Structure 1
Amino acid sequence: MLETRLEIVKLMLELEGLKAECWELKNEDEEKSEPWPGYGRNVANLSIREIEVYLKKISEKITKLLQKWWDDPPGLRFKIIIPGKQHYYYKHTKSNIYQIMITDKDGLPHSSFGLWWFLTFLIIFLDSEQRKKQILVFDEPAYNLHPKAQKAVCKIFNEISKKHQIIYSTHSPFLIDWNFPQRIRVLERNYETKLTQIKNKPYHAEKSFMSVWDPLRASIDISLGDLGFLGEKNLFVEGISDQVYLANISAFLEEKGKSHLNLHEINIISYSNEEILELLIRVTRSLRRKAVILYDSDEGGRKANEIAQKNNIPHLGIKNVITQPDASKEYSIEDLIGTEEYLRFVNDYYGIELKLSWFKEIKPEDLDKKTNSKLTLGKRLEEYFKDEFEEKFSKSGVAIYFSNSLEGNESTPSCLNSFEKLFQEINAKFKNEVYH
């Protein structure tokens, strides 16, 4: 991050293609920053009026972002100006004093350390939009911000990551985007061996008594009921693969201007079993947050449906989104993609991505011959892998591979039409949900 306001001013000027030799005025000495050689127009060659036009543009850009992401208090305005009546004196010295201000709607100044950190972060965000692809690394960012602002930083990271590679470390649950579990890694230090282990799937239960996300929760020392998990709106789903599909497909459809979930407002949370679902409902209700439960039509889904009805929670079954469903068949999120299309990704993941020697291509007729067609598509493949390969089928692995394949895809795959309908149904449930 930028360490001084001097660097902030310098970078702000660069947003409008300007360069300047800068000094920060201090009590004891001056800190000096040379302009980037050959970069932009030198401020020294501009008139005061020309500079003020640029400063107004800079102020408007930053104010727009500040009001979008910072709401404590809402409506803050940013200004960078040349104060006072410097015009006559400084036009001869080719130097100017710049004043930075953040004020609320009543004109009162705001200058907390956390707010200045956030301002600097927004300027980096604006600057990143003008640059070629980069790798941006942050060590424990936003540690001095309150939880709500940390969540905003997490969302901004998502925006920046559309163009740049972002890597950051954190111990804060509010800086973890639970909607995209495949992006998270846990580094665990063994103090006896002095070695560090990287866990690529911190959402997988490592022991029989563990539940989903337990490894990650243990690493940052939070419980299931802690606020870092929950948002104002919460979509509870059964497993990690549901979480991966919904978040990534929604982000893809949003870029295409199609029906999607607003992931700035909605947290997608996997519960893995009925006991955890009931706990999440209790915590959500105690905090007066909104919740919707999405469930499969298998035995686990039927139990989730019963819990939803008992607690008066809005709920939606995958089967309700399927066009002309078979009344006797079970459905899960993989069935929304369709058998042929889903098998294509299964074959590519195991045969091309993982290059596993024991794997052989699976065709729809293979599943029809050797599995129970009334089961969900995921369960049929679990059954097939066990009988044919004596291996476990990874639904989450295929989900991540599927999601990665969406990146850079210019057209919208036809298999996503059902997800548009699903998102419309979920949004309608949230719209009609009331705080209890």
Structure 2
Amino acid sequence: MILTKARVFKFKSIDDSSDVSIDRNVTILVGQNESGKTAFLQALHKSVSVESGVSFNITEDYPRKDLNQYQREHANNPAVVTELTYTLTDQEISEINTDLGFNLLESLSFTHKYRYDGGKTITLSVPEKSYVSHLIEHAKVTTETKEAIKNAGTIRELTQILEGLDLNNEEQEFLDSTKTRFVENENWHSVLTYYIWKQHLEPNIPEFLYFDDYRVLPGKINLLELQRRIEASESNPDALKDEDKTALSLLKMAGVEIDDLNNSEGYEDIKAKLEAISNSITDKVFQYWRQNQELDVEFDIRTDPKDHPPYNNGNNLYIRIKNRRHRVTVPFNQRSKGFIWFFSFIVWFDSIKEQLGTKKDIILLLDEPGLSLHALAQADFLRYIDDLTENHQIIYTTHSPFMVPSNRLYQVRMVEDKQKEGTKITSNLSSSDPKTLFPLQAALGYTIAQNLFISKKNLLVEGPADLVFLKFFSTLLESKNRTHLSSEITVIPTGGLDKLATFIALLGGNELELVVLHDYNSKPDARLESLIKDKIISSKYILNYASFRNLKSKNTSLLSSDVEDMLSPKLYLSLFNSAYSKELNGIQITEDELPEGERIVDRLNRYLKSKGLVLRPSGGFNHYFVANHLASKPSALGRIDSQTLDRFEFLFQKVNELLDE
């Protein structure tokens, strides 16, 4: 049975959440702090909680601004808090049809409303007439009786007609068996609907479990005290604390009962049990925790009369984490908060249904899970969440971009606390507040950044114009069977030299092969020099255009150079004149007209200024516009001189060589 839609009314900050579509696997509620995410989860939890003693409380839960008025109405007109819609699975539909002996249903959904006083209302409809026709068709009755009942549309009508007839034994048996099976309930409009509800739906409605940061595993467990609280919980469920339940989950996960540890005889027996627990838990937890794979979980049992109560009485079970690299063990509770939380979460949810003593499906409500986890550990956690969906629907809240899988944004619901409306939840991202959208934008930006690096070999350049020129001339050289840029290399524009240095610093340790190609302005860039000094990147992987500009010159001094200077001045000017032909109104700029200088872009900018030619409001011209003109109209270049091709070929040879080492 799948929860497909939920709506919350008059609960804390929520007046009316509006209909919230629930994904069959994972639903992610994204919103700012105090937007109402937790309130939504708690309302669901209190509707059908797997835990005893959880119910609505009008003083705590009803919106305070309307509480006084509602308290006067509550006794006579208790308000609806939640409206939950469920859809049956194909297997459940098949089970109902098999039970009825007739393919009555192809699909079925129903809505369950929960009120503040604990009352419930079910909205459910089934095509009863077709089933009644089936019953009549297969009933062992006389022709006269069949004629009398042929127009009955419901089981109630059928039995009422039969009760008014003079029946033979077989007909009376048919009536009695029908009334016995389909029990009357005056609160239900349909006897068949009530039957399906009682037999197939109500017993299988999923229960909710709300989880936050409090169920963490203790570092040591006094076995006698735990045994005492287990026995006490048989009459008082509150005797077991959350940490006790997590400890029992740990033993369940390892396939060991507490009696096995309390009643073990001899060192070898208990040592074998402890090693079995260690191996089992280590394999399970570190299947998901990828942040440090050189850890093992170790367990030990011993007494400690000098410890404080209750640990000074009887055996204590100690949980320790061994670091194989440093060859030391430390108590579990001395590990990082993130590791403790991650470990405890996996332990608790590995056998959640068994621990809670239910056979019903459980919908997990996770409130801000993984807050203490590093971004990469949150990715580990999401992998575990995906595995949990094999057995549970999951709804969780977050404002971390790393808890939002950007390839599954359809699972995201935006939560906003709107002026005069209260909390609203929607899947319409376009209508959401920018502050609410920020985690999604950050997640999407992170994914875009990751996907830029589609190969291990990357050539970092400053801007999009570099990308266009390099791609164009690589393709041209390839068509001439000359050396071109390897297809394994991805060219990545970073947005300028300042950002280029940041890219190197951030990505240098990600096992990516990087070569940097940048503009040169009279002297080495201090930011790049600092990265070389700090050994973040080797100097041989940093190239500049000036190094490839004067291939045949004996002069080794470098000229200030941009990517545009890889083209001969005549060639670049022909491209420039074509790109801006409309704005130049037929003017053809030649190299002889330009002022002296090393960089063609700088010379053009000074020329335009001296002639009063305005190609854009901010002055100068758009370098990318010229490059893009080449990409869209390559014929604008005309005949390409051999020196230009030689420069690009030599550049590509060098880049390929560096990234082939």
Q: Same fold (TM over 0.5)?
A: no
Over alpha carbons, which structure has the higher Rg? 2
1 or 2 for the larger relative contact order (CA 8 Å, sep ≥6)? 2
